[in-house]
């Protein structure tokens, strides 16, 4: 006798509603506390991690997380910045994943989403890591596709972290090297 999966029937509906409520709560909190968020950069790597969560948790409201990483790469060790920002970005992207898990029927008709679902079915986690590396707004849809396809959450987080960390490393090093370049360009600023 074959047993039913745990998330089936009312449990699946309850999990989807809960996931949607979590996404809405995170977005509201990010909007309400946006002034407090701007001060987190003064807390070093922990602040970078928290800012990166906030920047990547928003689905509708764009937040410039890459600009924070670029700037902090000039202040702190770029590898540490990339690791903190990559981990925060991967956790922040769970909102897209949860949105896909909770609202499969809502986004199924979008042609871009359907294309991403097809890629995810064929190439799996490679789509997640590739889109996480490329600075683009499509990663929210990739997270939604991963959630809708019920990719294991640990697998999604791992591949999102790898891709986001690679991207953040590039931007952190760009920030770190741009300071020296600007100083040489302008002959040093007293």
The residue extents of the domains of the chain are 10-176
pLDDT band for position 80 (cuts 50, 70, 90): very high
**Looking at per-residue confidence, does 81 or 38 come out higher?**
81
pLDDT of residue 56: 87
Inter-CA distances, 170 with 17, 64, 106, 133, 142, Å: 37, 15, 35, 9, 21
Our measurement of the distance from residue 28's CA atom to the centroid of its chain's CA atoms, rounded to an integer in Å, reads 17
Give residue-wise pLDDT tens across range 26-65: 556 655 655 655 566 678 899 899 889 888 887 766 667 8
User: Which residue in 171, 151, 169 sits closest to 87, CA to CA?
Assistant: 169
Report field, pTM of the whole predicted structure over 0.85? no
Burial class (CB in 10 A: 0-12, 13-18, 19+), 122: exposed
pLDDT of residue 89: 94
User: Which residue in 97, 89, 92 sits closest to 165, CA to CA?
Assistant: 89
pLDDT of residue 49: 93
pLDDT of residue 95: 87
pLDDT band for position 71 (cuts 50, 70, 90): confident
**Looking at per-residue confidence, does 39 or 83 come out higher?**
83
């Amino acid at each position: 006798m074959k047993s039913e999966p745990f998330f089936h029937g009312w449990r699946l509906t309850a999990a989807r509603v809960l996931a949607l409520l979590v996404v809405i709560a995170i977005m509201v909190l990010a909007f309400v506390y946006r002034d407090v968020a701007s001060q987190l950069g003064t807390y070093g790597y922990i602040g970078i991690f928290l800012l990166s969560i906030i920047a990547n948790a928003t689905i509708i409201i764009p937040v410039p997380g890459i600009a924070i990483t670029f700037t902090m790469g000039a202040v702190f060790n770029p590898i540490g910045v990339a690791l903190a920002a990559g981990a925060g970005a991967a956790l922040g992207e769970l909102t897209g994943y949860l949105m896909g898990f909770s609202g499969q029927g809502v986004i199924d008709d979008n042609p871009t989403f359907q294309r991403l679902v097809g890629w995810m079915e064929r190439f799996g986690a490679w789509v997640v890591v590739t889109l996480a590396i490329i600075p683009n707004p499509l990663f929210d849809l990739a997270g939604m596709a991963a959630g809708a396809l019920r990719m294991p959450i640990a697998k999604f987080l791992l591949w999102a972290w790898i891709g986001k960390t690679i991207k953040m490393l590039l931007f952190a090093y760009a920030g770190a090297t741009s300071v020296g370049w600007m100083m040489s360009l302008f002959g040093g600023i007293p």
